[in-house]
Structure 1
Amino acid sequence: MYPFTQGSFAVRNGWYVAAFARDVTRDLLARTILGQPVVLYRKQDGTAVAVGGRCPHRHYPLGESCLKGDSIECGYHGIAFGPDGQCTKVPSQAHVPRSYRIPTYPLVEHGIWMFIWMGEPDRADPALLPDLAEIGADGGGMILRPFYSEHVKGRYQLLNDNLLDLTHLAYLHASSIGTEDNASVPEELTREPGVLRSRRHIRDAAPPPVVRTFHGEDIERIDRVVGMDFYLPGFHAGIGDMAVSRSNPVRGGEQLNRSRVYHAVTPETPTSCHYFFAMAAEDEAGLDRMDAYLRPVIAEDKFATEEIEKMLAIVGENPEELLLRSDRNAVEGRRMLQQMMDAERAPA
């Protein structure tokens, strides 16, 4: 499936964000992840769990059912399933077969996110999750806040490609966070096991509109670092540090912004995905401002993804791409994901 080889959809043995932790409560939360129905909820002791979202009797959606204690009671015929997936009650008969159960999935509350593992359960190692200190999400003078959860009618790799090629900031987001330097300044790439990093060090450049919006019209030149760390298969941690250009004789080097952004992309179906955006900044007021300011920016990315998906539906699943030098990071990300999918299909 574009842009992967035929038969490849998504990595299964990997951690994906299923929800923000704040959204998993005693109310049932239904999701489709990697083509599988899933229900998230918290047990009475506060522990979060993820179970299959389809009743095996008549396929009624368990997300449209109810929680009784720590068990889900199907809203169609009252069949109940515990957080371990085992059936605990069949109202129409006394005997409950041990084989009557629903799937369960490893779920880890990590920072503000709920990460789910849809593949082989015995390979679900929490050590593979992004290190919170490394991504600036463990405090350290920064306040972390979940912003938006979006359902996107486009395949997940289109959003991964978007985040792996930040030259688009110069054009798709020209009215807010981008300048032409996002496309023209050379990119530094670093590949590590399970992580792909990119950085652009932009020096003595014109500021994007966001700087003048929040810091005044008198700032003519800035220095900035733009980068993204991709933690495969679907988590991106970005840097957005800005300072007055060192060429300024009075304010040179003065910090204007220090922030981190987090994009989690989770496959839903072959042509749709879930998108979770969060941010960390130094104060609550800054987060309040950016919550409102970035909403249309994220909407632009969603729009672009959905429009490309529409185009793929017209031209077919294997369109020829005329790749550019700036595609190095996105192509490398695709290769790493393809290698993971190929390894999953390889004979044991």
Structure 2
Amino acid sequence: MYPFSEGSYAPRNGWYVAAFTSEIGEALLSRWILNQPVVLYRKADGTAVAVEGRCPHRHYPLGASKRVGDAVQCGYHGITFDSGGKCTFVPSQQSVPGVYSIRSYPLVERGLWAWIWPGDAGKADPSLIPDMEEIGFGLDGYRSEPFYYHEVDGRYQLLNDNLLDLTHLGYLHSSSIGTPDDAATPEERDTNERRVRSRRIMRNTKRQAVSEGRIDFDGPIDRVSGMDFHFPGFHAGIGEMLVSEGHPCAGEVLNSSRVWHAVTPAKRYTTNYFFAMGSIDHKGVDEMIEYLKPVLAEDMFATVEIEKIIRTMDELPPELMLKSDGTAVLGRRVLQKMMDAERADA
């Protein structure tokens, strides 16, 4: 499935964000993850769990059912499953068939996020979750908050591509967080087995519209902008504004922020999209909750409209690539390699 090889959609053996930790409570939370219905909730002791969201009897959605203690009781015929997926009660008979169970998913809470492993549970190593220090979460002096969750009508890789090519900031987001220098400035890339990193350092550059009235400085500025893609679906961004060289206060940090985009496949053509932010400007975090809503709406609009085109055309022409596509191409290749390895092991 575009842009991957035939039969490829998204890697299954990897940690994806299933929810913000603040979303998970006593009530059943329904979410589609890699084309499977999933239910998340907290047990009485506070532990968050994730189980299959489909009753094996008549495929009734367990997310539309109810809690009975720490178990989930299907709202259709009362069949009940514990938090590990084992069937414990069938109202219409005394014995429980041995085949009656639902899947239980590895789920780990770390940072603002609940991380789920949709693939082979035996390979679910929590050390593969992105390192919180590396992604810039929990830095001294930063206030970090979850902002939004959206289910976007576009395949997961379209949002990955969006975040792997930040040249769009100066055009799709020209009235808010970007300037033409986001595209014109050369990109520095660094990769390892866990992530692809991109950085742009813009010297003596034009300030973004978002900084007007928020930064008490009128002189020349330098900007650092970048994104780290932690496979298979987490993007950690950095944004810093400093006083430019030649000024008596050169190098002074005017603002520093981190943004986190979690991109989790929902169904084949829809995506769970989670956005969070941290900043040294604590008051500014509250202001950004409203300010960034239309910015993310622009990204989602682009994703939805591209999805409409690629799903409607009888034959999709090949992409005409640019130098700026290098990071996105690296990301695609890694994901394709992950999917190829899964097929080889099947």
TM-score by length of 2: 0.97
* Counterpart check, 1:36 vs 2:32: no
Secondary structure of 1:54's aligned partner:
coil
The match for 1:272 is: 270
RMSD of aligned Cα (Å): 1.3
**Superposition pairs for residues 1-348 of structure 1, below 5 Å?**
1-215=1-215, 219-247=218-246, 249-316=247-314, 318-347=316-345
The answer to whether the 8 Å contact 2:223/2:240 transfers is yes
Q: Alpha-carbon deviations, 1:199-224, whole Å to 9, x = none? A: 001100111111224125x6253101
Give 1:244 shift: 2.4
Q: Alpha-carbon deviations, 1:12-67, whole Å to 9, x = none? A: 00000000000000000001100001000000000000000001111110000000
The answer to whether the 8 Å contact 2:16/2:234 transfers is yes
Aligned mates of 2:315, 2:342 — CA distance in 1? 23
Aligned mates of 2:20, 2:14 — CA distance in 1? 17
Secondary structure of 1:174's aligned partner:
coil
Secondary structure of 2:326's aligned partner:
helix
Secondary structure of 2:293's aligned partner:
helix
Aligned mates of 1:209, 1:259 — CA distance in 2? 16
Q: Which amino acid aligns with 2:244?
A: S
The answer to whether the 8 Å contact 1:137/1:144 transfers is yes
Task: Give aligned-pair identity as a percent.
Answer: 59
The answer to whether the 8 Å contact 1:143/1:281 transfers is yes
Q: Alpha-carbon deviations, 1:139-173, whole Å to 9, x = none? A: 42212110000110000100000000000001000
Q: Which amino acid aligns with 1:150?
A: H
Secondary structure of 2:10's aligned partner:
coil
Q: Which amino acid aligns with 2:224?
A: V
Q: Alpha-carbon deviations, 1:308-343, whole Å to 9, x = none? A: 001112224743100000000001100010011001
Q: Which amino acid aligns with 2:342?
A: E
Secondary structure of 1:193's aligned partner:
coil
Aligned mates of 1:316, 1:65 — CA distance in 2? 41
TM-score by length of 1: 0.97
Aligned mates of 2:213, 2:147 — CA distance in 1? 20
Secondary structure of 1:215's aligned partner:
coil
Aligned mates of 1:203, 1:251 — CA distance in 2? 15
Secondary structure of 1:163's aligned partner:
helix
The answer to whether the 8 Å contact 1:14/1:117 transfers is yes
Q: Which amino acid aligns with 1:297?
A: V
The answer to whether the 8 Å contact 1:207/1:220 transfers is no
Aligned mates of 1:139, 1:220 — CA distance in 2? 28
Aligned mates of 2:315, 2:218 — CA distance in 1? 47
Distance verdict in 2 for CA 1:314–1:99, change over 3 Å? closer
Secondary structure of 1:183's aligned partner:
helix
Aligned mates of 2:114, 2:194 — CA distance in 1? 19
Question: Number of matched residues?
Answer: 346
The answer to whether the 8 Å contact 2:142/2:282 transfers is no
Bigger drift between 83-92 and 253-262 goes to 253-262
The answer to whether the 8 Å contact 1:207/1:219 transfers is no
Aligned mates of 2:211, 2:282 — CA distance in 1? 18
Q: Alpha-carbon deviations, 1:165-186, whole Å to 9, x = none? A: 0000010000001011100110
Aligned mates of 2:100, 2:66 — CA distance in 1? 19
Structure 2 residue runs of 5 or longer lacking an equivalent are none
The answer to whether the 8 Å contact 1:206/1:220 transfers is no
Structure 1 residue runs of 5 or longer lacking an equivalent are none
